[in-house]
Structure 1
Amino acid sequence: MSFTPNVRRPGAPRTARRAISFYAALLIAGASAACSDSNPFLSPASRENRISTFSVWTLTGSNPTFPAAMLFTNLTAERPQVLSNGSVNFEVAFDLTGDGKVRFIPARALVPQSPAGAPVVGLQRSSSAFNALTRAPERGYTDDSTLVVGVNEVVLVRLASAGCIYGEPYYAKVAVDSVIASERRIVLRTLVNRNCGYRALTEGLPNT
Structure 2
Amino acid sequence: MSFTSNARQTGAPRLARRALSFCAAGLLVAASAACSDNNPFLSPATRDNTVSTFSVWAISGTNPVLPAGILFSNLTVERPQVLANGSVNFEVAFDITSDGKVAFLPARKLVPQAPAGAPVVGLAKSTSAFAALTRAPDRGYTDDSTLVAGVNEVVVVRLASAGCIYGEPYYAKAVVDSIIVAERRIVLRTLVNRNCGYRALTEGLPST
Q: TM-score category by the smaller chain? A: 0.7 to 0.9
| Corresponding pairs, count | 183
User: 1: distance between equivalents of 2:125 and 2:114?
Assistant: 26
Shift of 1:199: 0.3
Alignment partner of 2:74: what SS? coil
The alpha carbon displacement at 1:84 in A equals 0.5
1:37 Cα offset (Å): 6.1
Equivalent positions of 1:61-76 (< 5 A) are 61-76=61-76
CA distance in 2 between counterparts of 1:69 and 1:181 reads 17
Is residue 2:160 matched to residue 1:171?
no
* Alignment match, 1:12: none
Deviation at 1:98, TM superposition (A): 0.5
2 CA distance for matches of 1:192 and 1:37? 16
Partner Cα separation in structure 2 for residue 176 and residue 38 of structure 1: 31
Structure 1 contact 85–116 (Cα < 8 Å) conserved: no
Q: Partner of 1:94: helix, strand, or coil?
A: strand
Q: Is the 8 A contact 1:86 1:114 kept in 2?
A: no
Aligned match of 2:145? 145
Partner residue, 2:5: none
The two structures have a TM-score, normalised by structure 2, of: 0.83
Secondary structure of the corresponding residue to residue 73 of structure 1: helix
Match of 2:10 in 1: none
Where is the helix percentage greater, Structure 1 or Structure 2? Answer: 2
Residue in structure 1 matched with residue 89 of structure 2 by the alignment: 89
Query: Is the 2:37–2:207 Cα contact (8 Å) retained in structure 1?
Result: no
> In the alignment, which residue of structure 2 is the partner of 1:207?
207
- The residue matched to 1:182 in structure 2 has which SS? helix
TM score, norm. by length of structure 1: 0.83
- Residue range with higher mean Cα deviation, 38-47 or 123-132: 38-47
Sequence identity of aligned pairs in percent? 79
Q: CA deviation at 1:116?
A: 3.3
Letter in 1 for 2:199: R
CA RMSD of aligned residues (A): 2.2
Q: How far off its partner does 1:112 sit?
A: 3.7
In structure 1, stretches of 5+ residues that fail to align are 1-20
| Stretch deviating more after TM superposition (41-50 or 110-119) | 110-119
How far off its partner does 1:166 sit? Answer: 0.5
